[in-house]
Amino acid sequence: MSRNTMERVLWQLCVERAAKERFRLDAAGFLERFELSEDEVAMILGFDVAGLQAAGVNPMLTMGFWQELSVDRSMALYKKRLGCTDERSAGFSAALKG
């Protein structure tokens, strides 16, 4: 796994307007220019924030990626994808790392 590359991709997608537009138009095509494994590409395309965090990607990058580009930007769904199942941990979604 190339955590640094995944983090670079997510960082670009969080801060660069042109990268966001290219990703929205052709997400798979955008990712082709990076040295990512099939699993890494699948995690990014599938907005698998739990998988990304389990691979060591910074939780703030996964949250920013989710908020910037996911179809359903709902934080409730983001928390659910991270495995948050109770109200006590609901406020700490960015830090939910297995």
Q: For residue 79, what are the CA distances in angstroms to 17, 20, 63?
A: 26, 23, 10
Predicted pLDDT of residue 83: 86
Predicted pLDDT of residue 8: 97
Which has the closest alpha carbon to 10: 95, 82, 2?
2
Which has the closest alpha carbon to 78: 53, 49, 57?
49
Per-residue pLDDT of the chain (98 residues; tens, 9 = 90+): 699 999 999 999 999 999 999 999 999 999 999 999 999 999 999 999 999 999 999 999 999 999 999 998 888 899 989 988 766 555 544 544 44
Predicted pLDDT of residue 67: 95
Predicted pLDDT of residue 18: 97
Predicted pLDDT of residue 87: 61
Kindly list the domain boundaries of the chain, sorted by start residue: 3-95
Considering the domain 3-95, what is its CATH architecture?
Orthogonal Bundle (1.10)
Predicted pLDDT of residue 23: 97
Predicted pLDDT of residue 85: 72
